[in-house]
Structure 1
Amino acid sequence: MSAEAFADLSGLESLIQSQEEGIEIEILNEKGEPIGLKIGFVGPDSDRMQKAMRDVAAEFAKKAAERSSLDAATDDSDDRMIAILAKSTTHWSPNPKIGGQVIPFSEENVRNLYAKFRIIRDQVEVRAVRRSSFTKS
């Protein structure tokens, strides 16, 4: 008798759990040096990210329906990504300061930060969309 072959999916289960828990990254400046801001977010398979994608799709579909059919279609992919990332961001630490004003954590403030500072958004996006970012070492 031979042993029955099987595929062990325990590693994938662990990956899903780590995406639900999320990760935190240190934001770097253009020289690759830490600026003192850490941002946390969940992974692409997490319930929160999946809900964010559905909510953003509905939000943008509603906006499109409200526009006149004579309006030219715009490429809103950046705005969509910013909205999804903002909904998937769990925290930042410490609160950043822009022009002397402290910016507390909120979804709206995260959207504004990602829209204003592409360098920050890019660092979050590149890690948030990759499952490999959430594998335990």
Structure 2
Amino acid sequence: MAGLDRFEEIQNTSDAGVWMEIEDPTNGEPLGMHLKLMGEDSEIYQKHLRKHRDKHLKKRTKNLKWDSFEAERTELLVACTVEWKNITYKGEQVEFTKENVRWLYSTYRGIRDQVDEFIADRANFLGE
């Protein structure tokens, strides 16, 4: 594959989403829990980003607080999470809902960081 085809592939795969396996934060071992994520080139990601940039430009936000940035980033990651498999809490399967995704990322920052890094790496969105 050559030329612009690679960019088109990344764009298409970013919109469709790819599976990421959550890793143990201490040793990097896969945990068997999976999240299907859209990439930063997806329309959802870009739309969400534009919405928040427009909000800050409109308000001319000069003193953006870290908590506000972190909350917006979490919402962006929630929007880019389209499915999950085998997410368990205290031995029980957790249903996939946007509310539960928000809970997961707000409660477990290590998972949120893995998701953030995965979404930002375009290589993850090249076809297999």
TM class, shorter-length: 0.7 to 0.9
Q: Distance in 2 between matches of 1:104 and 1:95?
A: 8
Q: What residue in structure 2 maps to residue 3 of structure 1?
A: none
Is 1:28 aligned to 2:20, yes or no?
no
Q: What residue in structure 1 maps to residue 5 of structure 2?
A: 10
Q: CA RMSD in A?
A: 2.6
TM-score (norm. length: structure 1) = 0.74
Q: Percent identity?
A: 29
- The AA in structure 2 aligned to 1:25 is M
Is 1:109 aligned to 2:104, yes or no?
no
- The AA in structure 1 aligned to 2:4 is L
Q: What residue in structure 2 maps to residue 37 of structure 1?
A: 33
Q: Aligned residues, how many?
A: 120
Q: What residue in structure 1 maps to residue 110 of structure 2?
A: 119
**Where does structure 1 lack aligned partners over 5 or more consecutive residues?**
1-6, 66-71
Q: Which runs of 4+ in 1 moved over 6 A?
A: none
| 1:68-79 correspondence to structure 2 within 5 Å | 74-75=65-66, 76-79=68-71
**Where does structure 2 lack aligned partners over 5 or more consecutive residues?**
none
Q: Distance in 1 between matches of 2:16 and 2:96?
A: 18
Q: Distance in 1 between matches of 2:28 and 2:121?
A: 20
